[in-house]
Each structure stands twice: as structure tokens, then as C-alpha cells.
Structure 1
């Protein structure tokens, strides 16, 4: 790839891959940025344009209604129009004339020989500037919220059915806020010293309201720091940190199973908290376990982590009953708690997925539960907020396994008297997360 591409050219290139070719946004964008020579400011601009355009795709497509009078045959045209609209509407510091000028240049750069695409783009964008933003009739709440907050109608209905219209409005607004830059400080380090170093390096850290070992940074780029490279901290959302905090770690020798471990954030967090013993990290894909090994090495706990490629639904073929003191099932899920951080999830998931994933989640719990020691702890977690993947899974698991019961727990800053904890995205703009803790009946 040429290193002379502009931030907007890289944005368009990435959006074509994501919107037209169904590529993953983070992989496509990171690959493009790593092969560019853009400044940090231009990398930030490209990132904002790509994720903002994906996030507001439904809203932006609605703005094209009545303005597109010809078929957009060239694959770059619609992504270019959407990213240009995003800049005009949401990026106040970018003048409209600059957006139009860049859009014309990109249309000529990406268009076919003798293409008239730049005239189409110019005409549509100028028509939009004259007309302005349009929205559906607010009386139709579902359609109005779907377009305004750029959320598929099935999800808007799902939120309303489970949390009511007022909470849904809060949730949707919150989900479209920028994700926080959250880091977890290693339990093996002096947290105050690391926090002071973050201050000295200009990250303006603030302590998390959810977890005592997490800090919120004013900006990104921490993965390039010596603190990160030395394994004194890692990038992890504060809600995700609570999963491992829900375990009771003591001085006994631990033999822990992380049934769905990759990329290893919770694996290493558990390894940091055991004085003696090990964490066996499973993943169905061997290549993903390399990420776990890399994480464990960087976080200075490689000597406590063992990896094994295995389908968590078949663990009884490998391990014996009652082998593990603790088991974590951070289950495959829809990711509906990560809509702020991974905007394309809203367009790729369906309600049927929630039920299909529930079957997988229950199968994993059913498979791993016999491996728990009699006085051990089993924690189930998802980065979803759906009832089907969270509370319903707990209810069905307990019905299938009457020898288990929920166990109340406390984390560093929160307490669950029921044995279940749900963090919603509108609670201080955290990722959505669900945690349930089980023990065997006495």
C-alpha cells in the first residue's frame, strides 16, 4: 500500500471493505493505518470517520432518501457519500467546503476512467446541505428511535420490551457515546506508582468507579507505552475486570479452568491473583491461544498459564471430575454489551442469534460443571445484556443442575446479594456485562 494516502482515502478504503465486502472494521482499519505514514492526528481522524460512519449507518442512509436519483453502481460511491455526510453532520470543526472538496478528490481517485461519480457525489452532498437532516415522525417511536440512534428496529423493540421506553432512550443515547479508554493495573504492581506514572506521561488518569485496579485515561495510545510493554497494565474495560474480581482468591493452591479464554485478558488477571497453582486456558482455535500466551508473557504470568486447544463442550474427554478449584466460563455471546465499542454488531446480530447462542452457553456450562471441586466456584459471564444469554441461561442451568446454587459475591467496589450482577451500558458509559457465580449445594 502506498504510504501517501490521506486520512480520508484510508477511511474510504476501509469502509468499502467493511460495508461492501463485510470485513471486520478493527482489522481492516488497523491494517491500513499500520501501512500508512499518517500523523497521530490524521490516524485519529481516520478512526473517527470509519467508526462514526459505521455507528450511524442507518441514520446516514436515511439522509440519502429523496436525494439519490440514480443507481450507485460503483462500489465506492455509497461509502463515500455516507462518510461525507457523517463529517458534515457530526464533525463541527470540519467546514462543509472541505468535506465537498475532499469528496470530489476521492471520487476522481476511486472512480473508473471517465466516471461521472464525482458529479453525482457533489450534487447529492450539496442538495443535502440545502435540505438538512430529516427524521421520521416521532409518533412512531420505534422507527424514530431506530433512525435517530441508528439502531435496527428489532433491537429498539427488544430494549423497549425489556427495559421500557424511557430506559431505552437512555440506553441508545449512551451506546452512541465514545467508549472510554480503560486500563487495568496488574495485581503484581504497586497501583499507586503506576497511576502516578500515567499522570506523569500525560494520560490524566481517573480511578474507575467500578473496579479499584482500573483507571480511565483521557486518550489512547497506551499500548505504545513502557508501562504496557512491561506488563504493568493492560487494556481492559472496567466492567470486564469485575468477572475475575467475583472469585474468592485465598492462599490455597489453585487449579483454575478458563473454558473460553482467548485473547486471555481474564486468564492473566486470574493468574495474577494466585499465590500458587495454575490457570488452564482453553480455546477451540489453536491460533487464538497464541494471543493468550503473548498476553501471559507480557503480563509476567507465563509460568502460571497452560494453554490447550479444546472445544469447551468436550472438556470431559480431557479432564477428570472435580479437578478444578475454580472455573470461568466467559461464554461466546452476541456482544450486545459492546455496541459502543464495536458498532457493526448492531447490524450483524439477530434475535435468533440470542437463542442459538443460549444453546451453546448452556452446553458449555453443562460440560464444565462436573469438573468443579466440591467446595469450588463456577463463574459464568457474558459481554451481552440480553435476557436470553444472561438470566435465562442461569435459570435453565440451575434447573438442569439442582446440585448447584447461586452464590452472593462482592467485588472491590460492588456487591451482589443474589449471585448475579448486570452492568448496563448507560451506567457511567461502561461496557455491558453480566456475571453469575455458582457453588455446589452443601
Structure 2
């Protein structure tokens, strides 16, 4: 079988849909192993992410045309990715989409199978009929199919954010994720920008002065990345650590540190201080170590494999000047980067995660010194995981209060919620507490 953009895309989609692999990991692994040209890699990426993003929409288009059980695993992903190309990739001729699908069906089918005839018939019927959508008077169902989000999530956004904002959020989640990097050594900013501009079309983030958006490609093989001068980090995520007021000699606890981007950012602010990084899994802490070593900050790092809800079994007293709780969450702010998140979460998950988030805050609170700072952040937009957790924490910890902070290009406030449609970034929430003396 000839390896091309569509065969790599189909293999990747099989891993995502059948093996429940993460889309970003499965795609990156597939592209690294392939010998595709940059143009074909871009097409593969577009097909994979687009097919996952619009899965509900594509299934709605196809389901009435599939009149028999699909016996072979590859068939449904092949039909979905072909439908995606037909509806969303205008530059690809329809005849080419159908022809390439037929070739893939022939190469993936067992000997003697006539499945390619089924693929050909379904796709030609799809082309003849065109797009169908539910009636607009059922707003939840209509928007669920049109933008390809589960109905519970559409209703949640409508109930909490209104129709106009909801449409904007849903549309933003289907846009390509921004290729954002953070400058780790701001003393060399001009030099770094000059070098980046020789290889990429660049633009400074409208959220921060230390993030740069690149027009294409991975930077992991660049010398700037290897030398630890830049790192991969979304602009909204990079605001979290900026919420602290560092002096440089602090003892800092990063309660949920993996994969280490924010841990490294904390270390960059320290001179004689130390950052204690926690994670349940040692394997993930190894990633933290790798990240800080590449960024030349590992000498400030102390690691411990520990559930943050059990910190009192290892630490004692008010020994930390600053604590970061970048809590595990539903990830609803990362949908454009991890499109399958929208299908994996339910309303019950928001409630369950909010309990975990509160429990982490509750357990680390006693370790913070008087007048110390505690920053709480998530990469989600749900009220249950953000504002409700903050309210509950303040109710049960009267010695803490919200403190105003100013980060990036945003106005000073006590809590920040960034939606993915606000600044073309990930969705994020940040709150800052101070422990009163």
C-alpha cells in the first residue's frame, strides 16, 4: 500500500476512534514515523483534527446513507474523513475525494472483499444529497450538529453564557490551535525574535509580551528550543505564573506540576529559591525534570511523587511562601487542541472534578505561610470548576481572601476567565488568594 497523507490520516483516526488514543499524541507519532512532505503533513493534520472536531456533524450526514452493518473497522473512519474533505476542504475536487477513498478501501480490505463498492456508493449518495441539518427552532440540537458538540455542552453554554457567546465559543473550538511559544529568556528577546523571523512568519501574542505565535510547524528540532531559549506554551497558560509577585528567594510548591511548563516558569523567577514539584506518577515527574533540564532550571527543582490531597503526610507547617494549584480539570478550554475532549466529558465530570479541585486547595492551604500567595488555575471554562470552587474555598477558609493581580495585557482583577474566542488562545481560569496574617 502506498503511504500518503490520507493513509496516514486513516491510520491515525483508527487509533483515536478504536484505541481511544489522544489525537495530538497519535498524530504526532504518526507524522514522525512517516516520510511525508511538509505539505502532506499539513493535509494529514487538517484531515485528522477536522474529522475529530466535526465527528457529530459528519455522523449526522452519513447515518441515513449507511443501510448495512460496517464489518471492517476502517470503514467508518474512512467515510467520516471523506465526508469531512467533501464538506470542509473546498480546494480538493469531489472526484478526487471519492477516488482516494475507493483506493484506500481496496488496500485496507481483506482479499476478496467488495467493501470499496459500499464506500463508493455511500459517498456518491452523499454528494448527490448534500448537507442536512436539524430545524433551527430546536436550538440545542441544531447547534449540536452544526458545530459538532454534545447537546449537554451546548445547553450548558447557552444557559450560562447566552446564545451569541455560545456560538462564538463553539466556533472558536473548531478553529486550528495557535502555534504558540513562550520566550524563556527575555533578556535575549530581540535576538530570539530575529532568529524566529528567519524561519517563520511570527506575531507577538495580544495577551502577553513573552509569547510568540508561529505560522507553521514544530519548533522542537530548532536550536532555540534545544538551547532552552524558547518552549511550547499557550499564551493564556503562560499568564498563570505571572500572577505571583516573586522576590526570588521563595520556597514554592507546584502541587500539580506535570508536564512542567509552569514549574519551569516558576523556576525562572527564582534566584536562591526552590520549587517543589508534585505529581501522583513518577513517570510524569520525569517529564518535569526533562523540561527544567532543557530550560536550565533543574538546579532549583525538588520533586516528589505524591497526590496533592495527601501533602500533609509528607509536608508540615507553613513552609511555603507560594503555592500553585494548576488543577486537573475537564479541559473544556483545550477543545481546539484536543478535539476529542468534547465527546469524553459529561456534566457529572464537572461536579466530580470540582470535588478533587477543592480537596487539593483544602489540603495545601495549611502549608502556606502568612501573607503567602496561592494561585488556582484550570484550563476549563465551567463555573463548577472555577468560580464555584473559589467561592467554596473562601467560605471554608476565612483566613484567605482574593487578591487583585495584573498579568499580561489584561486589566487588574481578582479572577480571570479567558474564553477560547477572546484572544485566539486556550480557555483558562486564574484566581489568586492571599493568606492573611
Q: Pick the TM interval, shorter chain.
A: over 0.9
Aligned counterparts of 2:424 and 2:357: Cα–Cα separation in 1: 26
SS state of the match for residue 279, structure 1?
strand
Moved over 4 A (4+): none
> Which of 372, 375, 379 is the aligned partner of 1:376?
372
Offset at residue 189 of structure 1 (A): 3.8
Equivalent residue for 1:39?
37
SS state of the match for residue 216, structure 1?
strand
SS state of the match for residue 106, structure 1?
helix
Offset at residue 21 of structure 1 (A): 2.5
Alignment of 1:92-107 (within 5 A): 92-107=90-105
Q: Could you give the per-residue CA deviations for residues 92-138 of structure 1, whole angstroms, max 9, x where no partner exists?
A: 22111111111111111111221121001000111111111111111
Q: Could you give the per-residue CA deviations for residues 157-191 of structure 1, whole angstroms, max 9, x where no partner exists?
A: 00001001111111111111111111100145421
Q: Could you give the per-residue CA deviations for residues 347-379 of structure 1, whole angstroms, max 9, x where no partner exists?
A: 000000000001100110011111111121000
> Which of 371, 394, 398 is the aligned partner of 1:398?
394
Equivalent residue for 1:162?
160
Alignment of 1:114-125 (within 5 A): 114-125=112-123
> Which of 233, 238, 250 is the aligned partner of 2:235?
238
**Which blocks of at least 5 consecutive residues in structure 1 are unaligned?**
none
Aligned counterparts of 1:175 and 1:344: Cα–Cα separation in 2: 11
- 1:304 lines up with 2:311 in the alignment: no
> Which of 311, 316, 325 is the aligned partner of 2:321?
325
Alignment of 1:11-410 (within 5 A): 11-187=9-185, 189-201=187-199, 203-251=200-248, 253-410=249-406
Aligned counterparts of 1:20 and 1:420: Cα–Cα separation in 2: 40
Aligned counterparts of 2:429 and 2:412: Cα–Cα separation in 1: 12
TM-score, normalised via structure 2 length? 0.98
Offset at residue 63 of structure 1 (A): 0.6
Aligned counterparts of 2:401 and 2:112: Cα–Cα separation in 1: 70
Range moving further from structure 2, 109-118 or 80-89: 109-118
Aligned counterparts of 1:318 and 1:103: Cα–Cα separation in 2: 57
2:202 touches 2:212 (CA, 8 Å); kept in 1? Answer: yes
1:189 touches 1:232 (CA, 8 Å); kept in 2? Answer: no
Range moving further from structure 2, 262-271 or 319-328: 319-328
1:175 touches 1:429 (CA, 8 Å); kept in 2? Answer: no
CA spacing shift, 1:188–1:300, aligned 2, 3 Å: farther
C-alpha RMSD over aligned residues: 1.2
Aligned counterparts of 1:189 and 1:342: Cα–Cα separation in 2: 33
- 1:428 lines up with 2:426 in the alignment: no
Aligned counterparts of 1:8 and 1:159: Cα–Cα separation in 2: 35
Aligned counterparts of 1:196 and 1:171: Cα–Cα separation in 2: 34
SS state of the match for residue 329, structure 1?
strand
Aligned counterparts of 2:148 and 2:177: Cα–Cα separation in 1: 17
1:268 touches 1:296 (CA, 8 Å); kept in 2? Answer: yes
Offset at residue 338 of structure 1 (A): 0.5
**Which blocks of at least 5 consecutive residues in structure 2 are unaligned?**
none
2:23 touches 2:339 (CA, 8 Å); kept in 1? Answer: no
Range moving further from structure 2, 347-356 or 16-25: 16-25
Aligned counterparts of 1:93 and 1:321: Cα–Cα separation in 2: 63
TM-score, normalised via structure 1 length? 0.97
